[in-house]
Amino acid sequence: MNGVVGKIVGVGRALGERVVTNDGFQNALNTDNAWIVERTGIKERHFVADGENCATLAADASNKALEHAGLKSEAIDLILCATSTAPESMPSVACLVGDMIGAAGIGAMDLAAACAGYSYAASVADSMLRSGAARRVLLIGADVMTSIVDQKDRSTAVLFGDGAGAVVLERGSGESGFVDHILGADGGMAPLLRAGHPGSDEKLYQNGREVFKWAVRIIPQMVEKLLARNDVSPEQVQYIIPHQANTRIIQAAVRKMDIPEEKIVVNLDRFGNTSAASIPISYPDIYGHFEPGKYVITAGFGAGLTWAANLYRI
């Protein structure tokens, strides 16, 4: 790619109203806080309450991102939502968000790439900006994982939470914006991680051991590839935001990279695994600390199996 285009000018997040600590699983799943923290790093997560769903969370995060950017909804040209847990097969979450935030009439579409969804969608949003098809894109990652997780399955129930993150991307010709993207998928590995539609009897299944080994390989590969082909050194990277799947995965991947651990953004202790939302949910914690000229790498991986990463120049 030539130059930088998609600059982040606003960020926001929304979380399910119900806060569920590890103690909430103790009786139902015959587990305790120490067991969950040791194996996952998660201390609490948010679940949707009555009246909340993927679209309402996405709209809430979007309104916060617009407010942060100092923009009204009519300034947006396209809404793009990464999600695998839309409350209905149709309409799309993005379409519902457009109505909820007062932006009906502009283009809106969903993108399904599971936990890699945000990184996939960021590539699409950047392409739309580069082509001139849009000046500003509202980019959302949102998932209500409680709609596809079996709350009686200890191996998965403790991992996931519900949330949404949103960013406003603006087309420009300055020094800040997305620089490069990596996209990958392998449907032959689908049996390792899959789920039915929200509300169906086919709940999420994960072969934790195999997914762990694969994720620990793919994260460093993506990071190293982005750095090498864009002539960026590890010292120039301010943050790496990996998909927040499991602390053990993140720690094992970091050990394979020439990146100090303090540059790795981790928040799954508070939010759990929120799938496509986990990367954009991270931005409100770090946006105010961005150092111009440095880089942020976002790396997603999940069901499909899918993987994607983005290089962003601050």
pLDDT (tens digit, 9 = 90+) per residue, 61-80?
999 999 999 999 999 999 99
Percent of the chain with pLDDT over 70: 99
Q: Give residue 199's Cα distance to chain centre.
A: 22
Joined tokens for residue 124: 């699409």
Give the residue numbers annotated as catalytic, written as ranges: 115, 243, 273
Show the domains of the chain with their CATH numbers.
1-314 (3.40.47.10)
Amino acid 286: pLDDT = 98
Q: What is the mean pLDDT of residues 285-302?
A: 97
Amino acid 27: pLDDT = 79
Q: What is the mean pLDDT of residues 26-38?
A: 87
- The answer to whether the bond into 198 is cis (omega within 30° of 0) is no
Of the candidates 117, 122, 124, the residue with the CA atom closest to the CA atom of residue 311: 122
pLDDT reading at 2 higher than 70: no
Q: What is the mean pLDDT of residues 141-157?
A: 93
pLDDT reading at 22 higher than 80: yes
Amino acid 1: pLDDT = 55
pLDDT reading at 198 higher than 90: no
Amino acid 161: pLDDT = 97
Query: What's the mean per-residue pLDDT of the chain?
Result: 95
* Residues 75-106: tens digit of each pLDDT: 999 999 999 999 998 999 999 999 999 998 99
* Residues 253-274: tens digit of each pLDDT: 999 998 999 999 999 999 999 9
Band of residue 35 on the pLDDT scale cut at 50, 70, 90? confident
